Structure 1
Amino acid sequence: MTGFPEPQFAPAAPGAPTVVVVMGVSGSGKSTVAACLAERLGWAFVDGDSFHSAAHIAKMRAGHPLDDDDRAPWLAAIAAWIDLRLQAREPGIVVCSALRRAYRDALVRGRPEVRIAYLHGDRALIEARLAARRGHFMPASLLDTQFAILEPPTAEEGAVTVSVDAPAETVAATIAARLGLREAKPE
Structure 2
Amino acid sequence: MVVIVMGVSGAGKTTVGQRLAAALGCGFRDADEFHSRENIAKMAAGIPLTDEDRAPWLEALRDIVRSALESGEDLVLACSALKRSYRELLTVDAGRQRWVYLWAPREVLAERLARRRGHYMPRTLLDSQLATLEPPEGAMAVDVSPEPDVVVATILQGLGLQRSS
Provide TM-score, normalisation by structure 1: 0.86
Structure 2 gap ranges (5+): none
Q: Verify: 1:26 aligned to 2:9, yes or no.
A: yes
Deviates more, 1:170-179 or 1:32-41: 170-179
- How does 1:63-78 map onto structure 2 within 5 Å? 63-78=46-61
Determine the structure 2 residue equivalent to 1:181.
161
RMSD of the TM alignment (CA)?
0.9
Which residues of 2 match residues 32-181 of structure 1 at below 5 A?
A: 32-154=15-137, 158-181=138-161
Question: For 1:28-86, what per-residue CA distance to the aligned partner results, in whole angstroms no more than 9, with x for missing partners?
Answer: 11100000100100010000001101111011001101000011111111110011100
**Greater Rg by CA:** 1
After the TM superposition, list the runs of 4 or more consecutive aligned residues in structure 1 that deviate by more than 2 angstroms: 109-112
How many Å separate the matches in 2 of 1:74 and 1:177? 31
CA deviations on 1:85-110 (whole Å, 9 max, x unpaired) are: 00110100001101111111111154
Unpaired runs of 5+ residues, structure 1, are: 1-17
Greater helix share, structure number: 2
- For normalisation by structure 2, the TM-score amounts to 0.97
Distance 2:93 2:144 in 1: 29
